[in-house]
Amino acid sequence: MKQGVKIYINKDVLTSARERISLMFDKFENICCSLSGGKDSTVLLHLALEEAKKRDRKVNVFFLDQEAEYSHTIDIIDYYMRLPNVVPYWYQIPIKMRNVTSYTEEYLNAWGEGEKWMRPKSEIAIHEVKADYKARFYDFIDWFEEQWNKEKTCFLVGLRAEESLNRFRAVTKHPGIDNLMWTTNTKGKIKVYPLYDWTFEDIWIYIAQNNVPYNKIYDFMYKLGFGMSEMRVSNLIHIHAFKCLASLPEFEPDTYNALLERIGGVHVAARYSKENVMYDTKKLPGKFKTWKEYRDFLLDTTPLEHKDIFIKRFANQPDHERTYRGQCKQLLLNGWGNGIPVPTASAIKQYEDKKKKQIEEWSKILWLN
C-alpha cells in the first residue's frame, strides 16, 4: 500500500478490526493494551478481550493514573482491571504532571509522598516501582514498554486517523509488520492500531450495539452540548482538556472540590475558560493592533525561566499573523513544552493560496454583475 493514500475495500471496519486483532494474537505471545478511560481505548480493549476469551488467553492492560482524573474515569478503569481475562498494570506512582492552570504551580506531583492525594489508592494498583524511571508521563510509558520482550510483544493503541492528519501520518508512515499500514515499528517495538480507520460514529455505534461499559462522563458532556472534538477524556489539568474545568462542578462536584484543595489556579481557570475571556485566541484583544503586538506583550510577562525557551522556538517559526496567534495561545497556556501546534510554512502557503483563489473567484463574480 502506498504511503499516505487511502484505499477503500469491500469490508466493514468492525470485521477489519477483529481480523487485525486476531492476527496479532497469532503472531505475539504478549498482548498489551493501553487504556485511558476514553471511548476509543475502551472499544479496543473490549475487542481484544473478545479475542482473548476465544483463545483462553489474557490481555495486559496498562493505565498510568495521573491522580487528577474524573472519578467516572477511575470507575471504568476499575471495572476493566478486575475482569478475569485482564492482567492489570494500573500504576499509581509518583509522576510529575504539567499543570496548565497556573504559572506559579507548573507541575502536579501526582501521588507524591507525604502529600494529600485527591483520592485513596486502589488496592489492585501498583504503588511502587523498584527501578529507576523518569517521573514524567511519556517517559514512564517508554520505560514500561521497554520491560517487555520485543519479539514476543505487541502494544495495541486506540488511535484513530480521523482525529487529525498528524495521527494518520503517525500510523501509516513506518509500517511495522509485513508492510501493514496499521502497525509501526520503532526500534523493534511493535505498536498496532486496529481502529485507525474508524470514525467517531463507528465507535459509538459499537458501544451501543454491544452494550459496552463506557466512561459516563461522556453523557454529561453530551447533555451540555459539547462538540465531538471537545469530548476529551484525559487528566483534568491537561493542556487540551482543562476547559472542562468550567463544567466539572456540574459533572463531579466532589472531584472539583478535591482538585481545588490539591492544585492552585483551578478556580480561576474554571471561571475564565467558561467565560472565554482567558486563554482565548479567536479574537484579538481590542488594545492590540496585530497578533504580533499581542504576542510580544505576552512574552514580556512570561516567567523568566521559560521566556528564553519561547524566544528560541518562535525564532524558527514563520513570520505570519496566523503563526503569531498560535504563539499567543502557547504563551497564554504557558505551553513551553511545545504541546500546542502553530501553523507551518506549508500550511500558511495553502491558506494564502486558498484565500487568493477565493478573492479571484469573487472578483470575477462581482465584475460580471
Which range of residues forms the domain containing residue 58? 16-201
Residues 213-223 have a mean pLDDT of: 91
Distance CA 283, CA 273 (A): 14
- Let me know whether 234 and 189 are in one domain: no
Residue 272 confidence (pLDDT) above 60: no
pLDDT of residue 1: 44
Is 21 a member of any domain?
Answer: yes
- Let me know whether 47 and 107 are in one domain: yes
> Where do the DSSP E strands lie in the chain?
30-34, 59-64, 86-91, 95-98, 107-110, 153-156, 183-186, 189-192
- Let me know whether 197 and 219 are in one domain: no
Is 357 a member of any domain?
Answer: no
Question: What pTM value is reported for the model?
Answer: 0.74
- Let me know whether 63 and 185 are in one domain: yes
Distance CA 137, CA 97 (A): 7
- Let me know whether 44 and 186 are in one domain: yes
3-state secondary structure of 369: coil
The CATH number for 47's domain is: 3.40.50
Distance CA 367, CA 362 (A): 8
Is 157 a member of any domain?
Answer: yes
| Average pLDDT across the chain, whole number | 84
Comparison of pLDDT for 207 and 366, the residue scoring more: 207
- Let me know whether 145 and 193 are in one domain: yes
Residue 276 confidence (pLDDT) above 90: no
Comparison of pLDDT for 228 and 368, the residue scoring more: 228
DSSP bridge pairs for 62? 34, 89
